[in-house]
Amino acid sequence: MTLAIFDLDNTLISDDSDFLWGQFLVDQGIVDKAQYEAANTKFYEDYKLGNLDIVEFLQFSLAPLAKHDPEQLYKWRSQFVEEVIKPIQLKPAIRLINKHRFKGDTVLVITATNRFVTEPIVKLFRIDNLLATTPEFIDGRYTGQFEGIPCFQEGKVKLLEEWLKTSTETMENSWFYSDSYNDLPLLKLVDNAVAVDPDEKLRDHAEQQNWSIISLRL
């Protein structure tokens, strides 16, 4: 079997779920609008520029999880997925996933956005395999910290290598679809790198390397 790996944000959906979750918290009055919205926007701009301090961002983005009961968090998350995420699922992305499934490939999503946010989103695509930053959960509550390695840039490669050790999959003839220059370490690792509606820096690199460049927003 072949491993078909997908980024999530701006690849399978037409926006960034991490940023949108932060905006949802603002819109629902769950966090302070003035402080949180400005910081959320600044971190997202840093991400797009390739300058994100992932640890600083995770301390910011996971903090609201520690302030609320998990049952309430899950209710908000369900509302978020229904109202915000479902409308931005990309139908061509679903067709591409199904094309790999039809060939017998194993489909995996690997994303920098934390597992609390992304797990139900990935389930919308009927994908069982997910690698994401894991929020720490102790004694029935989120702590606001994260476990292990952030699933970001080189961290994606490290987490994938750990996952492969417990899997029957290999990287032979592997695919990775991503929109972001931040994913260059993993794009360089696979046999078939595909830039999906890429940012400017990734498009330039993909053209230099003769990688495939596609759009899933047609």
In our burial notation (b when 16+ CB lie closer than 10 A, e otherwise), range 83-119 reads: ebbeeeebeebeebbeebeeeebbbbbbbbbbbbbbe
Residue 211 in tokens: 């990688």
Compute the distance between CA of residue 171 and CA of residue 176 in angstroms, rounded to an integer.
10
What ranges in the chain are assigned the alpha helix state H?
17-27, 33-49, 54-66, 70-80, 91-102, 115-124, 154-165, 184-189, 200-209
Can you list the pairs that 210-218 forms with residues at least 24 positions away whose Cβ atoms lie under 8 Å? Answer: 211/187, 214/177, 215/92, 216/11, 216/12, 216/90, 216/92, 216/93, 216/96, 217/14, 217/90, 217/92, 218/92
- Residues serving a catalytic function are 7, 9
What distance in Å separates the CA atoms of residue 118 and residue 30, rounded to the nearest whole number?
19
In the chain, % helix, strand, coil (3-state, to 5) comes to: 50, 20, 30
- Bridge partners of 141, per DSSP, are 138
